[in-house]
A and B are shown apart, each in its own frame.
Chain A
Amino acid sequence: GAGVSQSPSNKVTEKGKDVELRCDPISGHTALYWYRQSLGQGLEFLIYFQGNSAPDKSGLPSDRFSAERTGGSVSTLTIQRTQQEDSAVYLCASTSLWGTNTEAFFGQGTRLTVV
């Protein structure tokens, strides 16, 4: 597709379960970001991938959170043993860093609800 695609769009899970959130970036974009947005809050940086470089994981809130990016394209954000405070919208964005078009394009997000 032409834009950043995230799946699922909504996820309800029980506390303590693991969840996987998927992001398909725009084809050819080398950089991929994950952000978290809690209700009424700003964008909290989680992790950033750029090409073959080691990811910047400085925003991951705990070791229950992890992410990978396979083949420089699709990324999966995994949350283990979910807690109620993990409830939020998880946003993915991609960009090509160099050249004239350097803005990040965002997906529509995955709304995660932990009950």
Chain B
Amino acid sequence: AQKVTQAQTEISVVEKEDVTLDCVYETRDTTYYLFWYKQPPSGELVFLIRRNSFDEQNEISGRYSWNFQKSTSSFNFTITASQVVDSAVYFCALRPYNQGGKLIFGQGTELSVKP
């Protein structure tokens, strides 16, 4: 089965706290892509990061960092020193190489950052 699970439906933190959003995926393909998207209250989905299955190097971009671990089929997303503007729904997605390009999303995690 090809599946993405974001077990955390909602997370609420206070500004400046660090927060990690979990993503676990299932695929039989050895080649695949993983993505994170942000959906702010305005509704438009914004691309954050792409990872292919051959690149397990973790990535940091400003306050954002991603931890990709094939051994546990996880692609977790951490926001350091969260800000109110980080409040949004965050989606993790999987695109298996042999599915012809089908993009499979998790159910999303709603992050609320309070001042």
Contact = CB atoms under 8 A, between A and B. Distances in A.
Interface of A: 31, 33, 35, 41-43, 45, 48, 50, 53, 56, 89, 91, 93, 95, 97, 102-106, 108-109
Contact of B105 (A43, A50, A56, A105): A43
Contacts of A45: 102-105
What is the interface of chain A mostly: helix, strand, loop, or mixed?
A: strand
Interface of B: 33, 35, 37, 43-45, 47, 50, 91, 93, 95, 100-108
Most buried by A among B44, B100, B104, B106: B100
B47 A103 contact: yes
A10 to B, nearest CB: 12
Given A41-B107, A45-B105, A108-B44, 10 more contacts: A31-B101, A42-B106, A43-B91, A48-B101, A48-B103, A56-B102, A102-B50, A102-B95, A106-B45, A108-B43
Contacts of A41: 107
Given A43-B91, A91-B45, A102 B102 contact: no
A76 to B, nearest CB: 20
8 interchain residue pairs of minimum CB distance: A42-B107, A106-B45, A43-B105, A103-B47, A97-B101, A42-B108, A31-B101, A103-B50
A50 B95 CA distance: 13
A41 B39 CA distance: 12
A106 B44 contact: yes
B101 A105 contact: no
Nearest to A98: B101
Contact of B101 (A42, A43, A50, A91): A50
